[in-house]
Amino acid sequence: MTAVDLGLRLHLALAAAGVLVALAAAPERRARWAGSLAATAAAAGLVTGLAAMAGTEGRLTLSTALPLAPLTLAPDRLGGLFMAIAGGVGLLAALFGIGYAHGPSSSATSWAAFVAFLPSVQLVPAAADVVSFLLVWEAMAITSTVLLLADHEHRPQVLSATRWYAVMTHLGFLALLAGFAVLVAESGGTTLDELARAVESHRQQGGRYHGALALLTIGFAAKAGLVPLHVWLPRAHPEAPSHVSAVMSGAMAGTGIYGLVLIAVRLMPEPPQWWALALVALGIASALYGILQASVATDVKRLLGYSTTENSGLMAIALGLAVLLRADGETGPADVALVACLMLAVSHAAFKTTLFLGAGSVVHATGERDLDRLGGLLPRMPWTATAFALGGLGAAALPVTAGFVSEWVLLQAIIHGARGEGRVVAVVMPLALAAVALTAGLALLTMVKAVGVAFLARGRSEAVATAREAPAPMVTAMLAGAGVLVLLGVAAGPLAVAVAGTVDARGILATSTAGLHLAAVDAGLEPVRLTGGVLVLTALVAGPAILLERRRPRRRTTLPWGCGGVRTSPRMEYTATSYAEPLVRVFGDALRPTRDVAVTRTDRAWFVVREVRFHQQLEDVVEQALYRPLQAVLNRTAELARGVQNGSIHRYLTYSLAALIAVLAAVSR
């Protein structure tokens, strides 16, 4: 029995025990016991994934009562990578949930669903056949839907968010089911290896092959949150418990990316050019639209939800470019782009988990998600502020973090891939480079807003004044996530080499303990030296200022971030809305904001203003332009269809007679 065999069995056993404990434990012990078992099961999945990444083989077959072949779990190197990602995210989320879950999110149903949700996310990349894949995929969808409903009795908006999520995730499932059904019909088998062999032998039969490819892409893109299938993300994340949001964004969205990489690497190693172009187009649209919406959002969890769309877009760009470059004969840059896609998945899991857990800590302490009502949390919640700030550095792709390294690798693939002679590549590369650069700039502005407005300046509500640091399990999870983010950024070489090994990408070399050399494009990066240089430069700039400040007479200051001067009231400081106002004006045609200004004047003179109130609302443009009209058409169609069933037995008999005549007419032919 290999380490993978043992790990899969242990993982499932611990998860089953966790579900039973969640259902049977006393309420006061449920979070501690169920959370501990969930964390242990996630850790077992993490170790199993790492073993599979290292090349250890293993297989677990599960017999069912269905007239089908046994379910098979056998992760390869690529599946092991995404198992490890989901295991790490699940471990931190379960630890955080021990201190965070209270009220509806600590019920027996919620904990049982959470413990079942974690292994379903981890086992998607371990599935070796279509039936296993779809069953685990659906289990992931059902358990996450139950978790999203945790607080539906107290907040009506939870039901609306759950409806959107359930509809989108199950439409994606139907697309996957149809796509896999086409491939199974062609291959006559259900294992992924049989599907890959059938695709290779029937590649020239374009119609069915391209149809299956399009359906699978739709299903995976919906789970990854790519535009225009992203609408569930900004709705579901604000309403889900924060530790659940961390798993949904850091790990579950990654299963969609895993599916797309699976297509390009294993099922259909030479996809058609239109598929690569579609991926790049979807990626550019998702990256730009996601970060633009995040930059103007004031709900911190909605902001992070749109940020997930942005990061998924960057991964789609990298994967699409890898396919295009390989078809153009540029194998070196293609390998670098593919590695960049996987490194982006790893870094996204690290910083997005940290950010969602940090947002959960703020919600736990203040009950607020609106950045306009936060502020001044740094002295009250220093550990949360530190972890959230480091997560923001990763999301903004700044040095010392894995986010910087992964986007640097992507930029190297774009810059060196642009030297190819293909016309399509020559057109696509500049567009991709511009999109990545603009996305990085907007991401920096977004994270400065989130960190600065939430933790600096003055508090803007009573809840902030009474906020206290999170309990020890929550702080430990947040700091661990931030530490992993920094560690992966510093140890760029080992990370890139490990990731490259999962897809047999050559030309990725570790030049030292932490350094990274991309031999295929002759580019190198030394994160330790870069970090040291940044620290030295910071010391040279800040050191003299600190020394001069110490020599001056001490004066009383109460404002961490004064925006150029001392403010006597929080109303005089920047809010998230005012900070993003220039972006709203610049991108007004794309965002289409709705503004309302109410001016209250005094009774004595019309020109004396007593109060001015400004209200701005930003809706999802894609939802308003695409889904709302479609929803209206479906509602009208449903209303018309109701006339068919009016309770008349005579009409029902007429329907039966007409159906019988139609069947007889068809058979007689």
DSSP string, 527-564: HHHHHHHHHHHHHHHHHHHHHHHHHSPP-----S--TT
Residue 601, token pair as written in the block: 């004047």
Cα separation, 151 vs 245, whole angstroms: 14
Among 44-48, 114-118, 311-315, 608-612, the range scoring the smallest mean pLDDT is: 608-612
Among 15-24, 276-285, 372-381, 602-611, the range scoring the smallest mean pLDDT is: 602-611
pLDDT of 515 reads 79
Burial readout 84-114 (b: 16 or more C-beta within 10 A, e: otherwise): bbbbbbbbbbbbbbbbbbeebbbebebbbbb
Taking only the tens place, the pLDDT of each residue in 188-242 is 888 888 888 887 776 655 667 888 899 999 999 999 999 999 999 888 888 889 9
Q: Are residues 353 and 483 in the same domain?
A: yes
Would you say the C-alpha torsion 177, 178, 181, 186 has a positive or negative sign?
negative
DSSP 191: B
Which of 104-118, 170-184, 604-618 is predicted most confidently? Answer: 170-184
Structural domain contains residue 201: no
Q: Are residues 515 and 650 in the same domain?
A: no
Element (H, E) at 208: helix 206-224
The amino acid sitting at 392 is: G
Taking only the tens place, the pLDDT of each residue in 346-374 is 999 999 999 999 999 999 888 888 888 88
Q: Are residues 379 and 466 in the same domain?
A: yes
Structural domain contains residue 16: no
Q: Are residues 384 and 481 in the same domain?
A: yes
Question: Does the structure show a pLDDT above 90 at 80?
Answer: yes
Structural domain contains residue 311: no
Cα separation, 287 vs 275, whole angstroms: 18
3-state SS of 30-90? HHHHHHHHHHHHHHHHHHHHHHHHCCCCCCEEECCCCCCCCEEECCCHHHHHHHHHHHHHH
Instruction: Determine the angle formed by the axes of helices 206-224 and 273-296, rounding to 10 degrees.
Output: 20
Structural domain contains residue 498: yes
Question: Does the structure show a pLDDT above 60 at 557?
Answer: no
Which of residues 522, 550, 578 is at a domain's end? 550
Which of residues 508, 524, 550 is at a domain's end? 550
Which of residues 513, 531, 550 is at a domain's end? 550
Question: Does the structure show a pLDDT above 70 at 315?
Answer: yes
Question: Does the structure show a pLDDT above 60 at 68?
Answer: yes
Q: Are residues 638 and 545 in the same domain?
A: no
CA distances from 231 to 141, 217, 234, 464, 620 (A): 16, 17, 6, 31, 8
Confidence of residue 382 (pLDDT cuts 50, 70, 90): very high
Residue with tokens 């740094």: 378
CA geometry: angle at 76 spanning 66 and 344, to 5°?
115
Residues 6+ apart with CB under 8 A from 611: 599, 600
Burial readout 410-422 (b: 16 or more C-beta within 10 A, e: otherwise): bbbbbebbbebeb
CA 123 to chain centre: 18
Q: Are residues 526 and 635 in the same domain?
A: no
Closest residue by Cα to residue 41 from 1, 87, 84: 87
Q: Are residues 423 and 529 in the same domain?
A: yes
Q: Are residues 494 and 635 in the same domain?
A: no
pLDDT of 204 reads 54
Q: How many CB atoms lie within 10 A of CB 300?
A: 28
Range 578-598 average pLDDT: 80
Question: Does the structure show a pLDDT above 60 at 565?
Answer: no
Q: Which residue segment(s) compose the domain that 431 sits in? A: 330-550
Q: Are residues 401 and 529 in the same domain?
A: yes
CA geometry: angle at 547 spanning 544 and 551, to 5°?
140
Cα separation, 262 vs 206, whole angstroms: 20
Q: Are residues 517 and 631 in the same domain?
A: no
Cα separation, 398 vs 407, whole angstroms: 9
Question: Does the structure show a pLDDT above 70 at 103?
Answer: no
Question: Does the structure show a pLDDT above 70 at 248?
Answer: yes
Model-wide pTM > 0.85: yes
> What is the longest distance spanned by two Cα atoms in the chain?
103
Cα separation, 615 vs 623, whole angstroms: 21
Which of 387-401, 513-527, 554-568 is predicted most confidently? Answer: 387-401
Question: Does the structure show a pLDDT above 90 at 650?
Answer: no
Structural domain contains residue 57: no
Closest residue by Cα to residue 618 from 584, 583, 574, 578: 584
Structural domain contains residue 421: yes
Confidence of residue 538 (pLDDT cuts 50, 70, 90): confident
Round the CA-based radius of gyration of the chain to a whole number and report it: 26
Q: Are residues 405 and 539 in the same domain?
A: yes
Structural domain contains residue 203: no
Number of domains in the chain: 2
Structural domain contains residue 107: no
